[in-house]
Structure 1
Amino acid sequence: MVAQNTPPCRIPRTSLLWNKMADNWQLVCETYQRAITASDVESRNDPETEPYRSKYRARELLRETRALLGVPRGEEEGDDGRRRRMDARLGVIELRLGVNHTETEEMSAGEEHLVKCSKILERHRLSQQCVSTYIQAQNNLGVLWADRGEIIIAQTYLESAESLYNQYMKKIGKPPVDPDEHFTLEEQNLTDQERSKRFEKAYTHTLYYLAQVYKHLKQDERAAQYCHTTLQRQLEYDGYNPVEWAINAATLSQYYLAKQSYMDARHCLAAANVIFSKAGQIPSPEAAKENEAEQDRLDHLRQKKAEIARCWVKYCMNLLEGARKKLEDNIGELDVDLQEELKAERKKQEDEKERGRKKAVLFGSSDIYDSILAVEEKAGCSIPLDFQEAREVFLVGQNYINEAKEYFQLDGHVSDHIEIIQDHSALFKVLAFFEEDYERRCKMHKRRIDMLEPLSKELNPQYYLLVCRQLQFELADTYYEMMDLKVAIGNKLDEMDSHTIKKINSLAQSAIKYYEMFLDSLRSPDKKFPEKLEEDVLRPALVAKFHIARLYGKLITSDSQKQMENMQTSLNNYRFVVDYCANNEDAVKSVETELELTKEMVALLPARMERLRLQLSSFA
């Protein structure tokens, strides 16, 4: 029992203040977390009529958090640690506000907050509490200026972030505090492992954005280096979307192809296949029909898979084309002596490539790399030196052609489908280079005709003029190639039989038909041929005229009058090329080789025609 005159018990003032501060800090943290939830989670379900509703709500909550902190910058008293802690929190708020404004397309306001964040944290940027926030602010400023087209300014911010990361890791190296940790209760702090993972992810973003910047600046080698490192780090820290990663790796392969680094290109493509497989099972069309979201996912996955397949096709094409350019002689045929010489060097080349491989940056941990290696083994990376080796590359390419066509069908993807068919034709064309048997080579070109001709007939030139021209010219060239092969076959006979003569003439006439269709497409609506050819059709048009002239000279006929007409048509086309180049000197460089032969024929043909005319008159 308490005596009546005992004074009431009082809670010490310091304890009341502590409890009040604790309650206030919990409110600060809760308000900040609500802002993050609104921005990162609830915004996904915002209606189309109010796409930024949750972002605007998050913005108000961030401002409320800043107000609850209660101490404006510059007025806080105390030691450097307390000052740094307050600056770190204010910096995070400014970072989040900056990102919020840029996400709602308010770039100027976003820039203002991001710059303010950088200024607040400048003096603390190397500290464990502030380095991650500062780097993320620099990253976002870099992206913001890149979106404005100011690539040099973007480069400055991103290289600043890169430099700070390297400086921090060298001098301190401890996993830094994540920005969101500044608004969590102590028991909710992240582990060092999670802190490190988030920090490395922020730096990976720095490298990714720098890769884009260097690409814009045409610093292709540097861009590829940063892209490769980014992809490697994403695998290392398990921070990637499998489909996006695979597409980026496949895209990088095209850079290595241009550099003729076939081993690196293949590695990127094999890695793309392996990582893409982690995106999950592609749903069947039947299952997708029952669910709109699954239908969208199916379409997306099928498209990306087809895009990777097309990169593989380009790889096979480049490998075969590289071999052809290396092995062809001065008339475009296989140089057998050089072929044997290169085969003798093959062992040495393979050893050197293997040494180079050990120095290369390879993707993934050992388990992923084993899967990548299994894909690589299905496709060579050395240039093929004979038909068998070329055929193996061709078959890989043809497999991916079929895979790409599954998505890029003519109905709905006209341009893409045609490009894939043209690639298929090109694969046959370069494979034919390695084939020594002329009859089998002819059959390969016939396969090209069979796939290109139906497309040419089906397309409307009114809508697909450029594509129609490409197909017409390629068909003409293919028929021309087949005609030359049939002539070579016929010349080996003691005497050409009527079947061979008929075949040569038929092929020549088909080639002429498609060259003429191409040239007619250049005419004006009133059917006049242009006096001045556009740059993009200058060489094709003059080469078409040159080939038509040659083809009329190749036609075989026992009718002397018809022969005279063919020679006159041939001469007219040769003269067109000579006269055009005489009147347009800038055209000479585009057809230097053809022009030399054309001038010779213009000089020789009239004499031949005169001799034939005399023969005809003597028989009259």
Structure 2
Amino acid sequence: MASVNIEQWRAIFDKFTNAQNLTDVESLNDPRNDPFRSKYKARELLREIYCSLKSFDGVEVDSVAESSSQQPEEEEAVDGQQDVPGLCGDSPEGLRAAKLAAVEYYLGVNHIDTEELPAGQEHLGNCMTLLEKCTATSNNVSLFIHVRNQLGILWAGYDEKEKAQGFLEAAESNYHQYMKDDGSPPIDMAEYFCAQENMLTHQERVRRFELAYTHTLYYLAQVYQNLGQTERAATYCHSTLQRQLKLNQYNPMEWALNAATLSQYYITNGRYMEGRHCLSAATVISGLAGDIPSEAAAQESEIENERRETLRQKRADIARCWIKYSLNLLQDARKLLEDNIGEIDSDHQDELRNARRRAEEEEEKGRKSTLLFDSEDTFDSIASLEEKVQCLFPLDFTEARAVFLEGQNYVTQAKEYFQMDGYVTDHIEILQDHSALFRVLAFFEEDLERRCKMHKRRVDILEPICNELNSQYYLMIRRQLMFELAETYNEMMDLKLALANRQADTQSLDSHSINKFNLLCSSSAKYFHMFLESLRSPEGKMPEHLEEEVLRPALVARFRVARLHNRLISSSPTDQLDNLNRALENYKYVVQYCEAHPEARAAVEMELELSKEMAGLLPLKINRLKARMGSNN
């Protein structure tokens, strides 16, 4: 039987090397009007390799490739040639099948890279068909994993999530089974077309194989996220990030942003230790991307300008994740401490303090069971940053203020990039979070006057923006701001009245207190009215049927306006009567709307019940006032 000589293999090796260089290096410089020029050239070389391999069918195969049982450094020549065992049972048939499968894989990736997905899918399918002749061994397990990864990506792109899941889970299974059965660094499929002197080192084989598996986990995390399996997705994402650090295969800013994004899953599930760890790691790793270029440097170089914008935006995104961390921690603490009238339950507060002592004792144990990012170069920096931020629920104003200040610091950082000029929506969302930080901090403040000042800060943050925004382009955002401002003024009004009532009853309030109370009351009503007016059609008509997204806010606004008019303090009987009639009109609207639209009742159960009660009581109060006015006349 004839043999394939070294020169023939050398020709294949040279073509493969050229194809890789065209794909990985030359393609980066392809012109915009011919973006795939180098990859098309690489494709032709791969086809030539495939034809050469097919022509060897039934021919005894000799090669300079090493035996899979040897390390790259161990070179043993026999008559000037190296024996190449089959990749499946050491048979020539298995060897040819694996090599042909590898070329099909590279052709598949090539077609996908050039946006020819059906052709890419066909080649990857051919690769899978050829691999069916083989069992996974150290010679081909890398190819098994790579092709399943590619098919997983392909089907995910087609939105065939279950198919993608199947291929990727098969790749994951290939990895675990191989590590259990063998565990030695497997041959990379690029080595099928590589001369002995160019074979990979032991360490490089390990790195490439582990990186392929890291990609499997990364793709699985995305597939699980798309399937709604969020907990599983978070676990795989965390493992991916950890492995990328360990293998030192990551882009610092991309890694940091992924870690910060993962933190949002943890904090929304009350896992603040993990969330803090992710954000601390994100902050530290983002620093490895280097300093932000100066504005002068950015003006001189397009590359520096792009780098400046990228670094500034992604660091601002990480800052926004820190804001959410602080805000969620405070809000969850409030939920734990709040009694049925919206104040701190002191008995429960003591219980939580005792529970915290036990939690602190378990913290170190808990940390050890957490997936930590323990890169040797960054671990100390991450741990140092974590120590500055608490992850246990704040239980009093001092602790809450420390969390608030951390959040407010990141508000300042985020606003430096997301400015009103160019990032309207982002800027306003940051302002809303800032307002929310003040609101939840006020819950922990016992001094009512200081609490009222915190709500005034919310007004100072939101009111200028609300009045500046164009309703035509930012209607939904303006509605949010109007409603929040109305509620904020309402809270300030309640606090001012509570302060005044500590010194005297309502009838004895001094004129300054009455004027302040009425001003806050009117300001709240004004913004509720503005919200309701925004619901009108272009013709100026109020909708007969409220859409779901505005149903509750609109009915609550009507209820609050009624309550506000009922509470206004006036020495003029005529003004009192006018306020009571307006209150009655709005209470009736809530009742009548819910009678006409029964499906709305569930959205405003409490408000509806009180509206019914007030709609029955106010006419009596109005008649008594009219009677007094008549007798006075």
- Normalised by the shorter chain, which TM-score bucket? over 0.9
Equivalent residue for 1:496, pick from 497, 503, 509 = 509
**Pairing 1:288–2:291 present:** no
CA–CA distance in structure 1, aligned partners of residues 556 and 149 of structure 2:
52
1:380-403, Cα deviation, whole Å (9 max, x unpaired): 101111011110000110111111
- Displacement of 1:560 after TM fit? 1.1
What is the one-letter code of the residue matched to 1:198? Answer: R
- Displacement of 1:59 after TM fit? 0.6
User: Partner of 1:214 in structure 2?
Assistant: 224
**Pairing 1:119–2:121 present:** no
Map 1:477-556 → 2, pairs under 5 A: 477-494=487-504, 495-556=508-569
- Displacement of 1:24 after TM fit? 2.1
SS in 1 for 2:224: helix
User: Partner of 1:468 in structure 2?
Assistant: 478
1:219-247, Cα deviation, whole Å (9 max, x unpaired): 11111111111111111111111111111
- Displacement of 1:121 after TM fit? 2.3
SS in 2 for 1:442: helix
Contact 1:546 1:577 in 2 (8 A): yes
**Pairing 1:39–2:28 present:** no
What is the one-letter code of the residue matched to 2:590? Answer: V
- Displacement of 1:345 after TM fit? 2.2
- Displacement of 1:352 after TM fit? 3.1
CA–CA distance in structure 1, aligned partners of residues 457 and 512 of structure 2:
21
Change (3 A) 1:235 1:612: same
What is the one-letter code of the residue matched to 2:610? Answer: L
What is the one-letter code of the residue matched to 2:430? Answer: I
User: Partner of 1:322 in structure 2?
Assistant: 332
Change (3 A) 1:154 1:422: same
Contact 2:97 2:133 in 1 (8 A): no
- Displacement of 1:61 after TM fit? 1.3
1:286-333, Cα deviation, whole Å (9 max, x unpaired): 111110011011101111111111111111111000011111111212
What is the one-letter code of the residue matched to 2:580? Answer: M
**Pairing 1:356–2:369 present:** no
CA–CA distance in structure 2, aligned partners of residues 203 and 367 of structure 1:
23
Contact 2:221 2:237 in 1 (8 A): yes
**TM, length-normalised to structure 1:** 0.95
User: Partner of 1:432 in structure 2?
Assistant: 442
- Displacement of 1:66 after TM fit? 2.1
Contact 1:124 1:131 in 2 (8 A): no
CA–CA distance in structure 2, aligned partners of residues 590 and 55 of structure 1:
59
Equivalent residue for 1:62, pick from 34, 37, 46 = 46
- Displacement of 1:344 after TM fit? 2.5
Unpaired segments of 5 or more residues in structure 2?
62-85
Equivalent residue for 1:51, pick from 35, 40, 47 = 35
Work out the number of aligned pairs and report it. 603
Contact 1:88 1:121 in 2 (8 A): yes
- Displacement of 1:178 after TM fit? 1.1
Contact 1:85 1:129 in 2 (8 A): no
1:447-484, Cα deviation, whole Å (9 max, x unpaired): 11111111111110000110010111111111111111
SS in 2 for 1:124: coil
Q: CA RMSD in A?
A: 1.5
1:326-368, Cα deviation, whole Å (9 max, x unpaired): 1111121222222222223220122234322221111123442
User: Partner of 2:346 in structure 1?
Assistant: 336
**Pairing 1:385–2:398 present:** no
CA–CA distance in structure 1, aligned partners of residues 493 and 240 of structure 2:
52
What is the one-letter code of the residue matched to 2:524? Answer: A
CA–CA distance in structure 2, aligned partners of residues 159 and 454 of structure 1:
53
- Displacement of 1:64 after TM fit? 1.8
Unpaired segments of 5 or more residues in structure 1?
1-13
CA–CA distance in structure 2, aligned partners of residues 224 and 148 of structure 1:
23
SS in 2 for 1:463: coil
User: Partner of 1:415 in structure 2?
Assistant: 425
User: Partner of 1:376 in structure 2?
Assistant: 386
User: Partner of 2:459 in structure 1?
Assistant: 449
CA–CA distance in structure 2, aligned partners of residues 165 and 337 of structure 1:
54
Contact 1:39 1:54 in 2 (8 A): yes
CA–CA distance in structure 2, aligned partners of residues 619 and 76 of structure 1:
120
What is the one-letter code of the residue matched to 2:374? Answer: G
1:122-152, Cα deviation, whole Å (9 max, x unpaired): 3334121211012101100110011001111
CA–CA distance in structure 2, aligned partners of residues 289 and 364 of structure 1:
38
Contact 1:316 1:397 in 2 (8 A): yes
**Pairing 1:136–2:149 present:** no
Equivalent residue for 1:223, pick from 224, 233, 241 = 233
Contact 1:379 1:393 in 2 (8 A): yes
1:232-271, Cα deviation, whole Å (9 max, x unpaired): 1111111111111111111111111121111111111111
SS in 2 for 1:332: coil
Between 1:77-86 and 1:363-372, the stretch displaced more is: 77-86
User: Partner of 1:11 in structure 2?
Assistant: none
**TM, length-normalised to structure 2:** 0.93
Map 1:90-105 → 2, pairs under 5 A: 90-105=100-115
**Pairing 1:591–2:591 present:** no
Equivalent residue for 1:239, pick from 245, 249, 254 = 249
Map 1:198-213 → 2, pairs under 5 A: 198-213=208-223
